Amino acid sequence: MTAAGIYNSAVAAWAIAAAWEIGALDELHRSRTLDAESFAASRGLDPAATVGMFRALASVGVVRRDGATVVTADAFDEVYRYKSFFHWLSRGSAELFRQMPSVLVSENRVGKFYRRDAAAIAYACREIDELCYAQTFWDAMGRLDFELGSVVDLGCGSGGRVLDVLARYPRARGIGIDIARPALDAARADSLAAGAADRVTFIEADVLDLDERPEFADVQLITCFMMGHDFWPRENCVTALRRFRKVFPSVQRLLIGDATRTAEVPDSELPVFTLGFELGHDLMGVFLPTIADWESVFEEAGWTLLRTNRIDLTVGEVVFELE
């Protein structure tokens, strides 16, 4: 790839994230064409800047453009499928990558040495969850051998999973726990919109430092998706998994879904998302376990592994079913 291709692709990644957030990608997905100036006027956007955004998409073959007329091109459907990955990178993790020169310096890697946008990460992860994990998650839910009355979602983000569970299990009550207040604000708003606010509680807390609470006593199911790598390294992971058994004394099943470290993939053949996800976590100093790493801790932590569901869409995704 030429320098121009690399540069234009970097700009286009930002444009993809923006186009999704303002609704342009969804509009193109529905109609396959739009007028950029009319779209800008209908959304209160600057017309020249909006046309410029579509020009960035056209530079990498996502759309074709004739003045303000925009139509989908060869790369559009693939990009649309993976749009949340671009949002994770360009919106949620932008500050982390912008600070890469500083973050690389060993003496700077103390305390809170990086920043990310928690609300944007939650926005992207809701769709990433649907793309990567949802089918496998619901298959695992179908294998529950007890009537579900109470569920807690650890690292709930904007609350999508726990609200989806409550929609399918109308007698159940839910708890969502996350450390990011902006994501929880969105979760509470969504629970109101879904008419489920009286059945779900959202708690701002560090999942790795939970104390026993009365509302935790009856939880039967723990779900934890896209944050399990935060439990590591190994000793910390064993401690966390043991603590969950104490904090949630009635728990019968634990479902962990997460990305895992890829191995033996040539640098030139990395699929979408893998490089950004793994480099991002290397920059943050977060250890990414392999599937074998995970499977080695469960027995020590007091859990029985019932099933390992390998998904392997982009970043070694897996769902573990534990009891």
Domains and CATH numbers, the chain: 3-81 (1.10.10.10), 122-322 (3.40.50.150)
Q: What is the spatial distance between Cα 171 and Cα 29, in angstroms, rounded to a whole number?
A: 37
Q: 283 with 276: CB under 8 angstroms?
A: no
Output the CA–CA distances (angstroms, integers) from residue 149 to 183, 202, 251, 298, in the order listed. 25, 17, 11, 25
pLDDT at 265: 86
Q: What is the spatial distance between Cα 90 and Cα 84, in angstroms, rounded to a whole number?
A: 10
Output the CA–CA distances (angstroms, integers) from residue 273 to 30, 201, 262, 303, in the order listed. 25, 32, 12, 31
pLDDT at 1: 83
Q: What is the spatial distance between Cα 153 and Cα 183, in angstroms, rounded to a whole number?
A: 13
Residue 294 CA from chain centroid, whole number: 19
Q: What is the spatial distance between Cα 57 and Cα 73, in angstroms, rounded to a whole number?
A: 10
Q: What is the spatial distance between Cα 13 and Cα 57, in angstroms, rounded to a whole number?
A: 8
Q: What is the spatial distance between Cα 165 and Cα 255, in angstroms, rounded to a whole number?
A: 13
Q: What is the spatial distance between Cα 58 and Cα 309, in angstroms, rounded to a whole number?
A: 38
> Per mean pLDDT, which range of 34-48, 66-80, 259-273 is the poorest?
259-273
pLDDT at 43: 97
Q: What is the spatial distance between Cα 300 and Cα 236, in angstroms, rounded to a whole number?
A: 12
Give this prediction's pTM: 0.87
What 3-state class would DSSP assign to 222?
strand
Q: Could you tell me the pLDDT band of residue 126, with boundaries at 50, 70 and 90? A: confident
pLDDT at 60: 97
Percent residues over pLDDT 90 in the chain: 93
Per DSSP, what are the bridge partners of residue 33?
71
pLDDT at 312: 84
Nearest to residue 68, comparing CAs of 92, 41, 97? 41
> Beta strand pairing status for 33-35 and 221-225?
unpaired
pLDDT at 100: 98
Q: Residues 206-234: pLDDT tens digits? A: 999 999 999 999 999 999 999 999 999 99
Residue 263 in this model has a pLDDT that exceeds 90:
no
Average pLDDT, the chain: 96
> Beta strand pairing status for 221-225 and 253-258?
parallel
pLDDT at 183: 87
